[in-house]
Amino acid sequence: MSNTQQLEIFIESEGDAKIVRPVGDIDLSGAPALRQQISQAQQEHPTRLIVDLSGVPYMDSSGLATLVEAMQIARRNDALLIICSLQDKVRSIFEIARLDMVFKIAQSREDAISM
Amino acid sequence: MSNTQQLEIFIESEGDAKIVRPVGDIDLSGAPALRQQISQAQQEHPTRLIVDLSGVPYMDSSGLATLVEAMQIARRNDALLIICSLQDKVRSIFEIARLDMVFKIAQSREDAISM
Amino acid sequence: MTAIQTNPVVRLEIASQPELLAGARALIAAMAQRCGFNEIMCGQISLAVDEALCNIIKHGYNCREDERIWISISITETEPKSIKIIIEDTADQIEVSEIRSRDLDDVRPGGLGVHIIKEIMDVVEYEHRQPRGMRLTLIKTNKPSQARENKEQKT
Amino acid sequence: MTAIQTNPVVRLEIASQPELLAGARALIAAMAQRCGFNEIMCGQISLAVDEALCNIIKHGYNCREDERIWISISITETEPKSIKIIIEDTADQIEVSEIRSRDLDDVRPGGLGVHIIKEIMDVVEYEHRQPRGMRLTLIKTNKPSQARENKEQKT
Ligand SMILES: Nc1ncnc2c1ncn2[C@@H]1O[C@H](COP(=O)(O)OP(=O)(O)O)[C@@H](O)[C@H]1O
Ligand SMILES: Nc1ncnc2c1ncn2[C@@H]1O[C@H](COP(=O)(O)OP(=O)(O)O)[C@@H](O)[C@H]1O
């Protein structure tokens, strides 16, 4: 009937990259948890922060705002923020918001790590 | 967001078996179309009628009623009615309605053909 | 009657059209998920509501498509979480005792909806509304540990 | 104002809680599907509604969770099919001209919702309700052949 999911957020490490992997819809109710997890990952000053969206079937502008904020913090920290593995529906909202050219977006997590 | 589907029904043949393959939700709005397609397939008096539910994520008692009626007609015609490839959610409603023992149910379409 | 005192957080009004069942199911499944039910249970709860709506359309409104049905949904804030769904119509009032499925062994098309609703939900209460129509209250509590027990008691 | 005369077939009332957005989206997507939109478009139409609801919760109700929002949905019976969604609240009335997104080139968190709504829907009309609150009318027509053209005109 519905494949909406309650949001879960996983934090993983690979080499010197920290990976934040949310699973579920990112909307106004889920964005604060994502913001908090990304901010926590950033406090460890990784040189590379990857947000893996493979498990995100839906995102609204609350999610986009969270990612824009994370990118600005990463820039101030001289860190690299890469978003990877967007599902088609989520890619289309990045395009509508004209953010597909603003973020570094990788096809896969492997690409994001070697980018 | 939602994987509800508008119902489509395909009629296929394999040897002397006729296969009715609905794709989408079978509820009060979709059941009449399924009933009509099954009844049409039965008018050709196949010895074996297979209803392939692999593409059906949801069925309510309107769908069950349609299948029970089809089974009764098949019996009168000395034909075999086999239901195959149930998704877990649909299997659970056959169980709730205690129809899992009433219908001939095959795991796969291959099994239904050789049964 | 019920222990749940929460105000309904969601109210849905639909025309009595079979084409609208899919929308009602999608809403119910998403609300059940908010209540922590797993995917199979969310599907079953929306099946129970679908069956109740089908019965109102078929028996209450004799398939007239310009009537209305109201569904209100509330979720308890405390654990174990429950979902309460109240379904109301303005159809002719019938004796509550007449609302029952056929004997399951007497296999024939139809006559399964009320059985399915009762198998799935913990509370299933039909009553007359004032001034007219029927009201059905459905409650399901998300108690993973007791789920099995309840089922065994019932069958 | 609009060519669509159909009575709303579905009315939804929700409390102003972010947790209820998922339910509203599921309902809208299922209704858009009834209108023949493909999966991507159904997702986008429910995104547009989600953005409008977020704005009411954030700006209209300042994140108070005990307020109400009403959504009514109608679908035309004739081809090309359209879905019309009216969203109403009882928040303070603001000048319609103040409802606009930031300049897209000035990248910063937020300020994208209204832009997203306007990109997705064909008609986006804000107005004051009587006696209070705002009303937003959203319409999307399912014209596969013209979809591309519309988009090009707009951008
Ligand atoms: N909402 C309702 N209004 C009037 N009668 C109802 C309603 N729901 C159920 N009933 C009665 O209960 C009977 C059993 O319903 P059900 O188990 O769903 O099977 P079916 O709808 O296939 O007959 C119906 O035949 C009908 O007489
Ligand atoms: N429903 C509403 N009620 C009041 N103000 C609104 C509403 N919707 C939008 N606005 C105004 O329009 C502005 C732009 O909204 P939007 O593009 O969604 O970005 P954001 O919500 O991130 O600020 C908001 O900042 C607000 O001032």
Per-domain residue ranges of chain B? 8-114
Angle between helices C21-34 and C39-55 (to 10 degrees): 140
CB contact under 8 A, D9 and C9: no
The closest CB to that of C25, out of A1, A5, A6, belongs to: A1
Backbone phi, psi, residue B24, to 5°? 125, 180
SS (H, E, C) D105-125: CCCCCCCCHHHHHHHHCCEEE
Name the residue at shortest CA distance from atom 7 of ligand 2. D55
In Å, the largest CA–CA distance within chain C is 43
Q: For residue D30, give the DSSP letter.
A: H
Cα dihedral across residues A27, A29, A32, A34: positive or negative: negative
Where do the domains of chain D lie, and which CATH numbers do they carry?
10-97+115-154 (3.30.565.10)
CB contact under 8 A, C22 and B89: no
Distance CA D2, CA D74 (A): 12
Q: Which ligand is nearest to the CA of D133?
A: 2
Residue B7 has pLDDT above 50, yes or no: yes
Residues D138/D84, Cβ–Cβ less than 8 Å: yes
CB of D48 shorter than 6 A to ligand 2: no
Instruction: With beta carbons under 8 A apart, name residues in chain C contacting A1.
Output: 25-26, 28-29, 42-43, 46
| CA D42 from centre of chain | 12
What is the nearest CA distance from A99 to chain C, expressed in angstroms?
29
Give the predicted TM-score (pTM) of the model: 0.91
Cα dihedral across residues C46, C26, C21, B40: positive or negative: negative
- Report, as ranges of residue numbers, the positions in chain D whose pLDDT lies below 70: 1-7, 145-155
Strand B104-106 relative to strand B8-14, pairing: unpaired
Residues C45/C32, Cβ–Cβ less than 8 Å: yes
Q: What is the per-residue pLDDT across A25-81, written as a single tens digit (0 to 9) for each?
A: 999 999 999 999 999 999 999 999 999 999 999 999 999 999 999 999 999 999 999
Average pLDDT for B85-102: 94
Could you give the percent of chain A with pLDDT greater than 70?
Answer: 96
- Does domain B8-114 correspond to CATH entry 3.40.50.300? no
